[in-house]
Structure 1
């Protein structure tokens, strides 16, 4: 039976442990990896630059995009930056996927992305099993922003399939791009259709856990999902005379940080201000652990499943037997091929001999015919 908890005197300093932890975290900083995924032209680069108020990524040149259309491939681009705010450093990594969804045939276009995410988990798992574990290049994705075209209808089949593939591997956050192209009523109806589609297909998206003092704020943030965003690297004058990022139109300005125009502030709060630590910890405690458990179980190393080890041994034996049978079959085929080649050579040699005999017979017949002609000629004389 465990011993009952004893209240310690307040003056020994246990209550100062959070402050110690805060100092350690502030000194070490944090690593945060964010992936932006979606078709070209949805403003992913602009959104990232707007989110961190700096130019982290440059736009693609048109000829570079044309080259990718020819290659018909999805690439992985990694951009690294270090951002400091009030003495706290964040090693930021942005992963972009140019070429995704840009082709007529997009079959399995998500495979390079899924493989990349799995490879990062596998690489970290291998690194953790080494005796020396310093200098790890940890690129596990903490948040994947999936950009959706503002069509006003619902998710496309490609969106559904990709989101299903990613939702079990990463913290998936759906984002509606270019929110200024839809009216508020159309945007709300579009969000409702997307939510219904996500629920119908069992797609798991990131759900922020409320903290003790921000339950209402967290619920308000998650109620806006999927988040509608506007990205802009230029500043415009708002209706109240203030200046901020936005897009200027003849009718006025679409304000990036105006919550009646889009959900940019809510998404920024979720990613950076309130739940960045939750995104990092859920990647470590949920997605990485699921990958690790699945991988070890597949290798027969599960502690609580002895049958898995037995299956592993059986699979190994079957593979050895299969390899032996394949080797015997290959050797038998090689011997039969050698016998066939010998038989073929004998046939060719016999054919050549018969041809020579035939030519000799032809020459003999020709000689007899010539002699017969000579005899007839002599008789006529």
Structure 2
């Protein structure tokens, strides 16, 4: 296992504070900014594999340890644990003291875990793209989510959606009485038109692939996923709980395996006559460029034998840049907040047809439709 250098870790923490979390998590932006200048705290991430040594892993490990001490003073800054204070002059000193007092346990979690989120709101981003693939397929589709974690996004066809638009008011989709209701602001880029969002998405099969699939019946694994949710965004925690409860009625099949080498075997579990939609959401950044290319090659090989679509919600560099190079509009500009890119890829006669559908907020709260 190769470890990231302290210099690289500090750079990642600074980027997280200034660009990724700045407008969506005051608590984590505040803490990451201080951690970037603190070698003792930042140095804990050297226990992780280089690709996983990220601010979110540090904060998830701290949150997991804090869950076990719900009356600790630090919880006043964690709304997910009942706190109501925003970041102030006392936040960092209290956080730093807590982390150093529990450094061994936190380092152990960092060394043995990876950030695993089942951000349910991302289903609102994926739904229009999967619906386009299903319409092109002309029949119910099979879903194969790579990097599925606990598989909650495989419930995409069971959630209720409300898309708020300037042009057409609120667009509704999904089962109206679903226990999981998702809201997403849907804006249009210049020249774009609103996507056609069907009321229903028909699926014929569901399966998830992950190198560490999560069993939500296991209390420790469940608690880790909760710890990965940013504490000053309690709505995310509520939706996670609602989706996890709903999943118990019809749990999907989850398979432990590699995203590249085990993809063909897992895909074969979906009947050959069922059009296959492979889904990735905030996963490919964990792979280096060679592995990303290998993943695309594996998809192309599958597409040679059956109808196949790939719906991706990733950063541009992690996914669509390999198929749609030189798209400056899909890269954040200087000083611009980072964003995700929703993509749809279909293969025909061995050639890929890739489309960037939308720019998105990372956690599913809004997107800007491009096509």
Computing the radius of gyration over CA atoms, which structure comes out larger, 1 or 2? Answer: 1
TM-score of the superposition, structure 2-length normalised? Answer: 0.23
**Which of the pair is proportionally richer in helix?**
1
Relative contact order, CA 8 A, sep 6+: which one is greater? 2
